[in-house]
Amino acid sequence: MTNSTIFAFAAAFIVTAVLVPLMIPYLKKLKFGQTVREEGPESHKVKTGTPTMGGVAIMAAVFVAYLAFIEKNIVSAITMTVIAGFGAVGFIDDYIKVVKKRNLGLRAWQKLSGQLLFALVLVVYQYVFTDMGGGIYIPLVEKYLNMGIFYIPFAMIVVLGIVNSVNLTDGLDGLASGVTLIFMVFFVLISFVIGSRLQSVATLVSFASAVAGGCIGFLIYNKYPAKVFMGDVGSLALGGAVSALMVLSGAMIVFPILGAVFLAETLSVVIQVVSFKTRGKRVFLMSPLHHHYEEKGWKETKVVTRFYLAAAVSGLFAVAVVFI
């Protein structure tokens, strides 16, 4: 593990741990409180008014780590642009919901347009300006599958799917930040196992470490009962970080294993919507998946710890797959 990796982690942790408690009174003063959706679990009603948009601190922490300790090159610039870009889309969405008091925030086409823009920046850079081009790393055979021009639409869909899967996971105290932390830890482990076969490993590992440090610092105040929520500014920024690491490493095919919890959350929503639209019946008591377990009577802390465990198991499985 390089010094830049350790320092990036430590810097992000310190910045977040110090910045969040300074932000909370300010967010309360501005009345930047969370509005809990009516169709959500009844137990969440008590969360109304909890300060949100705390994800700004995670973004700031990663930016400080980038400026101070991460190598300045085109890969780090693209990664930071993607994180900041998706975070900015989330910030605007939060601002409209919290400050303008429009509960739905950005319209769907507006949010999608912003996400498409930064997904395009990421994918086109990878396709046009890197040696890997339209290649995707296949771990079991240790080869790259070159998709040619079809890589662009495929990778765009993957990026949007990843970003919004992280966003959907942000529904319980400490869930998205904790699962993302576990994801980043195992990404670093995988990078050390197959480092020479992944692209731009050192830079991406430093970013993963910075995001992990930011998540730990944020979890101090976001764990149950949460003193602050990250908001879309945080969840979309984290989604941008995850997608950037997957695309720029060429390891997108590993995401369904390493990011199994994120994937399960998204699939639960898709299955629920399709089932209700086609059959008029729901498969889950409520979606995303974490709400299903709440409706079954699980305590919020039990759901979160079980999802942490699932994330760790999927991470271990991903390491085993790439190690073979």
Average pLDDT rounded to a whole number, residues 32-61:
78
Residue 178 falls inside a structural domain: yes
- Within-domain flag for 122: yes
**Which residue in 1, 9, 3 sits closest to 217, CA to CA?**
9
Share of the chain above pLDDT 90, in %: 74
CB 41 within 8 A of CB 291: yes
Residue whose token pair is 């195992």: 186
Half-sphere exposure of 187 (CA within 13 A, CB side): 36
Rounded to two decimals, the pTM is: 0.94
Asked whether residue 296 is domain-assigned, the answer is: no
* Mean pLDDT for the chain overall: 91
Indicate the number of domains in the chain: 1
Q: Do the Cβ atoms of 122 and 130 come closer than 8 Å?
A: no
Residue 236 lies in a domain: yes
The single residue listed with the structure tokens 């969040």 is: 20
The answer to the question of whether 170 is labelled as a binding residue is no
For 143-158, write each residue's pLDDT tens digit: 778 899 999 999 999 9
- The more confident residue out of 168 and 134 is 168
Map tokens 């319980």 to a residue: 172
Residue 137: strand pairing partners? 144
Please check whether residue 209 lies inside any domain of the structure: yes
Tens of pLDDT, residues 63-87? 999 999 999 999 999 999 999 999 9
**167 annotated among ligand-binding-site residues:** yes
**pLDDT at 193 (0 to 100):** 73
Summarised one tens digit per residue, pLDDT across range 17-39 is: 999 999 999 998 887 776 665 55
- pLDDT 10s digits, 243-283: 999 999 888 999 999 999 999 999 999 999 999 999 999 99
Residues 218-245 as b or e (16 or more Cβ within 10 Å = b) = bbebbbeebbbbbbbbbbbbbbbbbbbb
Whether 264 maps to a domain, the answer reads: no
Residue 104 has pLDDT above 80, yes or no: no
- Rounded Cα–Cα distance for residues 132 and 140 (Å): 18
Tell me which residue range forms the domain holding 58: 3-135+143-252
Distance separating alpha carbons of residues 116 and 293, to the nearest angstrom: 32
On whether residue 315 sits in a domain, the answer given is no
CA distance 62 to 233: 13
Q: Residue 231 half-sphere exposure, CB side, CA atoms within 13 Å?
A: 34
Q: Identify which of 203, 238, 189, 199 has the alpha carbon closest to the alpha carbon of residue 55.
A: 238
Q: Is residue 279 part of a domain?
A: no
